[in-house]
Amino acid sequence: MNTEVQSGVLLRFTADKRLAAAAGGVARCLADAAGMEASAAAKLQAATLAVCIAACAQVATTSQELSVEVMRFADRIEITVTHAGPPLVGIAVLPGVDRIDHESVAAGSVTRLAKAL
């Protein structure tokens, strides 16, 4: 697995689901730049948006932040969503994503999406 980041974006925003579209847009942009087919890029965008909206719903107040990091590697795109609160439940499979990992960290929870290129 390649660990060298070719490009990436880190977003931090208040837990407002209207702002989650920005993360989906970044995922779509990096997928397009990587040469991913339009339908696959749209599915990755939708999966990113779904996880961000679920994370927004999970936090206690909308003043809490979400951190979304979208990274393009030579062989994949990874989206990491960090938020306060317990791990997201009910997100085990999303169209357009090859792998979903959840973990608890001191500041809350992390959900990672990965899509092979």
Mean pLDDT of the chain: 90
Bridge partners of residue 71, in order along the sequence: 8, 78
pLDDT tens-place string over residues 6-52: 899 999 999 888 889 999 999 999 999 999 999 999 999 999 999 99
Predicted TM-score (pTM) of the model is 0.91
Write out the DSSP string of the chain: ----EEEEEEEEEES-GGGHHHHHHHHHHHHHHTT--HHHHHHHHHHHHHHHHHHHHHSS-TTSEEEEEEEEESSEEEEEEEESSSPPSS-S--TT-SEEEEEEETTEEEEEEEEE-
CATH topology (fold) of 5-116: Heat Shock Protein 90 (3.30.565)
Say which residue, 103 or 107, is predicted with more confidence. 103
Read off the pLDDT of each residue in 72-82 and give the average, rounded to a whole number. 95
Answer whether residue 102 shows pLDDT above 80. Answer: yes
Q: Spell out the domain ranges in the chain.
A: 5-116
User: Residue 67's pLDDT is what?
Assistant: 94
